[in-house]
């Protein structure tokens, strides 16, 4: 039986050495030229459990230097190098070549099916450990075992015969239907342990000894520390619960304040909108006031001055209204209203009211005067009645005496008299 190791690294070298030592026909192929040359020139130097077992001249080549066919092929590369190695050695397979794959990792069956029939694939997992002490030097420790399963169980008897023959060399192979479960188990284990092995520069077997040496004696100390930490955490939790119970009312109050703030924010926005409306209205009113003042006020004061001039028989000819009311006489002299006689003041106020009434509407609406002439003497009253008679408006005079009636009769004015 011709056996090929496609990859003569740590595990490939160890298994190859074990089979070669048991007189099996073993060949190594590898792409590491220095490693290949050292084995060709000096043999594979084997150190097991720190004991130098000598050098073994196992036939070793680069993949392109071999042309014969092999009955069994161990693929012993790194997982990511599997397909590249299969491409280099596929010309060494015959129709019934068995491939044994015990690489770490997952998904190798799919790759192998691209190169060989499914019933010729033996997939497995191992807990053997091994290492290289340099090119051409095997440096391994401890023992191990292999779980193996034929992917498609055809001629299972032959497969079991192969397993038995390989075990004669001490590989400690167990044929198992649980192999795929074991592959997943090791993948998970490697995800954890490889990190620690890298940190302390050892293999998994050495890591087990490291843990036993440095940690088992301290297990009670570690346990007590964990218990103390647990108790501290429980105490801290109770403190946090107490703080939470104290904070909760404040938190609820804060939430309420936030809600109130949102309500006030909405109200503020509405007030801002109203204020904007008021500002616009104020601006429009101010503009209207200015327009009215510029267009109406001059006409109003002209009318007011005409009324005053008429009812005072030309004594006063113009009225000014600023911070106070002032009048100008026919000589051009200007008097503050508080310097005039009471009768004259009443004449001016009467003129002011009549002028406003006449300015309100262009229609000739009635003017109603209720006891408006009490403080006028007959001369002033006569002048006012003459002015009112000249207007086109209907004039209604309400009076408790007949003074107005007598003056109208004296002036021979037409009027209607109603006595109540």
CA distances from 206 to 46, 105, 170 (A): 18, 21, 21
Catalytic-labelled residue, pool 98, 186, 309, 318: 186
| Token duo for residue 74 | 């161990």
Using alpha carbons only, what angle is made at residue 130 by residues 128 and 131, rounded to the nearest 5 degrees?
165
Known active-site residue 186: yes
Report the alpha-carbon distance of residue 85 to residue 322 in Å, rounded.
Answer: 112
Report the alpha-carbon distance of residue 305 to residue 352 in Å, rounded.
Answer: 9
Strands 137-140 and 146-150, bridge-based pairing:
unpaired
Strands 325-329 and 316-321, bridge-based pairing:
antiparallel
Report the alpha-carbon distance of residue 73 to residue 116 in Å, rounded.
Answer: 11
If DSSP codes are grouped into helix, strand and coil, which group holds residue 124?
Answer: strand
Residue 30's CB is within 10 A of a number of other CB atoms, namely: 22
Centroid of chain to Cα 168:
65
376: exposed, middle or buried (C-beta count within 10 Å: 0-12, 13-18, 19+)?
A: buried
| Token duo for residue 205 | 């077997």
Residue 316's CB is within 10 A of a number of other CB atoms, namely: 22
182 in Cβ contact with 197 (< 8 Å):
no
Report the alpha-carbon distance of residue 21 to residue 169 in Å, rounded.
Answer: 8
**Using the 8-state DSSP alphabet, how is residue 216 labeled?**
G
Report the alpha-carbon distance of residue 122 to residue 229 in Å, rounded.
Answer: 49
CA distance from start to end of the chain:
153
Q: What are the φ and ψ backbone dihedral angles of 199, each rounded to 5 degrees? A: -65, -40
Q: What are the φ and ψ backbone dihedral angles of 178, each rounded to 5 degrees? A: -95, 15
Catalytic (active-site) positions:
186
């Amino acid at each position: 039986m011709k056996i090929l190791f496609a990859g003569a690294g740590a595990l490939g070298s160890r298994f190859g050495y074990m089979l070669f030592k048991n007189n099996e026909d073993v060949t190594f192929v590898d792409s590491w030229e220095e490693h290949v040359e050292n084995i060709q020139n000096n043999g594979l130097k084997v150190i097991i459990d720190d004991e130098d077992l000598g050098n073994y001249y196992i036939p070793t080549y680069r993949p392109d230097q071999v042309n014969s066919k092999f009955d069994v092929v161990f693929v012993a590369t790194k997982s990511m190098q599997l397909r590249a190695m299969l491409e280099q050695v596929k010309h060494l397979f015959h129709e019934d070549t068995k491939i044994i794959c015990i690489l770490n990792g997952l998904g190798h069956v799919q790759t192998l099916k691209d190169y060989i029939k499914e019933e010729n694939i033996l997939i497995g997992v191992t807990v053997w450990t091994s290492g290289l002490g340099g090119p051409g030097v095997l440096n391994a420790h401890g023992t191990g075992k292999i779980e193996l399963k034929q992917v498609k169980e055809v001629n299972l008897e032959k497969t079991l015969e192969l397993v038995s023959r390989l075990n004669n060399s001490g590989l400690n192979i167990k044929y198992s239907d649980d192999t795929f479960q074991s592959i997943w188990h090791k993948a998970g284990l490697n995800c954890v342990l490889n990190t620690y092995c890298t940190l302390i520069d050892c293999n998994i077997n050495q890591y087990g000894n490291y843990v036993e040496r440095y940690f088992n004696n301290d297990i009670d100390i570690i346990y007590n520390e964990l218990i103390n930490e647990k108790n501290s955490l429980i105490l801290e939790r109770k403190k946090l619960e107490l703080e939470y119970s104290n904070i909760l009312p404040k938190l609820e109050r804060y939430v309420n304040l936030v809600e109130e703030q949102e309500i006030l924010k909405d109200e503020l926005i509405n007030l801002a909108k109203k204020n904007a409306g008021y500002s616009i209205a104020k601006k429009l009113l101010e503009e209207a006031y200015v327009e009215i003042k510029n267009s109406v006020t001059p006409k109003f004061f002209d009318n007011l001055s005409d009324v005053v001039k008429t009812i005072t028989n030309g004594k006063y000819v113009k009225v000014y209204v600023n911070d106070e009311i002032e009048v100008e006489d026919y000589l051009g002299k200007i008097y503050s209203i508080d310097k005039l006689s009471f009768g004259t003041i009443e004449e001016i106020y009467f003129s002011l009211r009549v002028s406003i009434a006449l300015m309100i509407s262009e229609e000739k609406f009635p003017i109603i005067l209720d006891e408006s002439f009490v403080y006028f003497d007959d001369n002033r009253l006569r002048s006012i009645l003459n002015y009112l008679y000249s207007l086109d408006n209907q004039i209604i005079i309400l009076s408790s005496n007949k003074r107005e009636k007598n003056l109208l009769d004296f002036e021979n004015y037409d009027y209607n008299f109603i006595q109540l």
